[in-house]
Chain A
Amino acid sequence: GQQVMQIPQYQHVQEGEDFTTYCNSSTTLSNIQWYKQRPGGHPVFLIQLVKSGEVKKQKRLTFQFGEAKKNSSLHITATQTTDVGTYFCAGPTSGTYKYIFGTGTRLKVLA
């Protein structure tokens, strides 16, 4: 079945350092979504990418969808303590609304 893997599993950074998480799907995706889950909270939608090679920015966050639409990345510039949490990517099974969530990357920011 479709698998969505993320690396790294954990990342500790000093406040002000950059952070990147990578998402890889075993199948081509029609779109990819990114979510953030704070400790003890629920996943919150960040963004959706649809086009091959698409790049979108939200303040310090940059999202990219690969040319082959099988991978994606999230880059945070100059991390802050508010960035702490687990970041998930999610992609739909072909032709459905069934989203498979990635394994997640847990980010810890040290002040």
Chain B
Amino acid sequence: DAGVIQSPRHEVTEMGQEVTLRCKPISGHDYLFWYRQTMMRGLELLIYFNNNVPIDDSGMPEDRFSAKMPNASFSTLKIQPSEPRDSAVYFCASSFSLAGASYEQYFGPGTRLTVT
């Protein structure tokens, strides 16, 4: 398996523009997570899905952020409009569960977002 795939790897955009980050989880994994990493706030969970259904979006900072998972092999994180404080590395991760037990998360390479 190719692992978790994220695109783009780097994104530079101007304040006010819409940004869409994409993620393809590992086939067979039923959990998908979106994280944001900054020096100041560390690694924060934004939202996670189970079987394509959003379970907890309490980490989404504002209404400007939205995430979808239309099918088991694709998810998007959208920021509209973007602001300079959204600059960070955004990671997507996936994992599987078995009999109620959780297992390791496999992280994608991340998308480095810069909003000017």
Instruction: Spell out A's residues near B (CB within 8 Å).
Output: 31, 33, 41-45, 48, 88, 92, 96-101, 103-104
Q: How many A-B pairs fall under 8 Å by CB?
A: 48
| Chain B contact patch, size range | 20 to 34
Q: Which of A45, A48, A98 contacts B45 (CB 8 A)?
A: A98
Instruction: Spell out B's residues near A (CB within 8 Å).
Output: 31, 33, 35, 42-45, 48, 50, 55-56, 91, 93, 95, 97, 102-110
What are 8 A-to-B residue pairs whose CB atoms are below 8 Å? Answer: A33-B104, A43-B91, A43-B93, A43-B107, A97-B102, A98-B55, A99-B102, A101-B44
B103 CB contacts on chain A under 8 angstroms: 48
Report the 9 A-B pairs with minimum CB-CB distance, sorted nearest first. Answer: A45-B104, A42-B107, A101-B43, A43-B107, A97-B102, A98-B56, A42-B110, A103-B42, A42-B109
> Measured between alpha carbons, how far is A43 from B106 in the docked complex, in Å?
8
